[in-house]
Amino acid sequence: MLVVNTETIPGYRIVALRGLVQGNTVRAKHLGRDIAAGLKNLVGGELRGYTELLTESRREAMQRMIAQAQQLGANAVVNVRFSTSAVTQGAAELYVYGTAVVVEPETPAASEAQPL
């Protein structure tokens, strides 16, 4: 699955559109993390617990989006965007959306190139 946040993929041609796909997660930080982050906040610096929370929710949201794209028979998602919103105090939503498309390589050389 090719995932990019641009409208096109160089070397590939979009042959079919499969529509908007999306994934979201709402995550609440738990008390343990809150306490640890509160202590860390005393001296500043990176709040690792919260960074991990953000990474986890981003991964999960993207997995949902990709699963949806696969269900629609797409092999790429283009123009991916993220957006976050606060649901209530203590819970945040991470929303990711993009357009599922079917792409095919323009040249035989491109079809041999594997994603890194």
Partner 1 sequence: MELIGLVCTAVTVLTPLVLALFVGSWIERRHLHALAQREALLGSMLVTDLRTFPQHEPGTPPPQMIVGEVVIGCDYFKAFLASWKLLFGGRVGSYQRVVDRARREAVLRVLEQARALGYNAVCNLRIESADVGGNTQQSRMPMSAVLAFGTAYMARQETTVPGWQPQSQAESLTRS
Residues at the interface with partner 1 (CB under 8 A): 2-12, 27-29, 34, 37-38, 40-47, 50-51, 53-55, 58, 62, 80-92, 94, 107, 109-110, 113-116
Q: How far is the CB of 30 from partner 1 (least distance, A)?
A: 9
Spatial distance between the Cα atoms of 69 and 104, rounded to a whole number of angstroms: 16
> Which tokens go with 38?
């509160």
How far apart are the C-alpha atoms of 9 and 53, rounded to whole Å?
Answer: 31
Phi, psi for 7 (deg, rounded to 5): -80, -25
**Residues counted in the chain:** 116
CB of 77 to partner 1, least distance (A): 9
Strand order in the sheet with 91-105: 2-3, 76-88, 91-105, 12-28
Question: Least distance from C-beta 113 to partner 1, angstroms?
Answer: 5
Q: Which is nearer to partner 1, 51 or 71 (CB)?
A: 51
Q: CB-wise, 58 or 64, nearer to partner 1?
A: 58
Contact 115, 31 (CB under 8 A): no
Shortest spacing between CB 71 and partner 1, in angstroms: 20
Q: Judged by CB, which is closer to partner 1: 71, or 83?
A: 83
Looking at the Cβ atoms of 29 and 64, the one nearer to partner 1 is 29
